[in-house]
Amino acid sequence: MSGNRVVVYQEPGKVSVETTDYPKLELPADVANGLGLKKAAPHAVILKLVSTNICGSDQHMVRGRTTAELGQTLGHEITGEVVEVGDDVLFVKPGDICSVPFNIACGRCRMCDEGKTGICLNVNPARPGAAYGYVDMGGWIGGQAEYVMVPFADFNLLKFPDRDQALEKIRDLTMLSDIFPTGYHGAYTAGVTTGSTVYVAGAGPVGLAAAHAAQLLGASVVVVGDMNPARLEQARSFGCETVDLSQGAELPDMIEQLLGEPEVDAAVDAVGFEARGHGPDAGEAPATVLNDMMAIARAGASLGIPGLYVTGDPGGVDEQAKIGQVGVRLGLGWAKSHSFATGQCPVKRYNRQLMNLILSGKAQIAKAVNATTITLDQAPDAYQDFDRGAAKKYVIDPHGLVAA
């Protein structure tokens, strides 16, 4: 092959589809040199992308709200067909269709041994954990592309058991690389179980995935909060209750109107550091969601926080926000004995079980997040639509396999 097309961050608010080199079975130079590893990667495979999705985390970069440099390739939600395998790959073969966890993990370090694949120690010289196409995550080429290299393939890839079945359900299965496990992780670490009442902050794709996951975990009521009417309607479309935070009412009062009491058993933050205050003219207030959750979560509750918080935000509202320091009412959480779960979802902890739920028809994640298929060339327009609040999860179909 002579080339590869990939989505690239050009400047705040703008991406384009650029032609780059076809991937090689090699580690990024920064990873190899920084960790003292061999550059050759016989443990890797090349995938032909079947589907790859636009994520809210990508939007943080494209808005200029991270330290991402111009020219950063994008895309960490990857599902593909194996087309080339390294000499050390034993258990996957060309033609297999696989889901790729957005966390890149070696499968050999202490964190991987403990199942904490989001903070692998051998894939990023800068800090624990790596991802495809993301700032400060090791320099791995993004997967909003035609082809991508996946290292440590025997460990990282989740092979679908039947090719025809996988293609038939690909709009659901494409969510296994990130948002379905991430939403599930948020609900699970918040302690959602049979009969729970649950509040999910944010009706973007991860929030909707968390809401659907909470239903699968047995929640009696799932309340989703947002300011976007179309996204709230999407949450209601699969049985969630909603609260419109643009109205300016106090959240405990809105919860009480729905549940008969001003608190919930579990709460999930699917918004992250670009959170806004309440009311029609509310400005950005990064700690809003975290403080909301502590206010409405019952004593002894757990708070799941899959929403992204960063260590560097050039567009932060103040000097503290620019380094990821936000005004959390920790005393309130301490007084209520809350526990907090943060960080990247370790996708491999959940993706096989969630795959089984999809293949059995019990999980309808594509419907929940309103999966919408586009071509690779439509990605720049889709980024702009998503940034304007489209109630859709954009699924890029580089080779026409999803449409077929």
Phi/psi of residue 38, nearest 5 degrees: -70, 140
Q: Are 339 and 302 in contact (CB under 8 A)?
A: yes
- For residue 401, give both structure tokens: 């396999």
The CATH code of domain 180-342 reads: 3.40.50.720
393-402 pLDDT per residue, tens: 999 999 999 9
Asked if the domains at 4-178+346-396 and 180-342 fall in one CATH topology, the answer is no
Mean pLDDT of 85-99: 98
For the chain, give every domain's residue range: 4-178+346-396, 180-342
119-140 pLDDT per residue, tens: 999 999 999 999 999 999 999 9
Report the pLDDT value the prediction gives residue 183, as an integer from 0 to 100.
98
Cα dihedral: 42, 47, 52, 55 (round 10):
10
Q: Which CATH number fits domain 4-178+346-396: 3.30.70.3270, 3.40.50.150, 3.30.1540.20, 3.90.180.10?
A: 3.90.180.10
280-308 pLDDT per residue, tens: 889 999 999 999 999 999 999 999 999 99
Which one, of 32, 28, 22, lies nearest residue 1 by Cα?
22
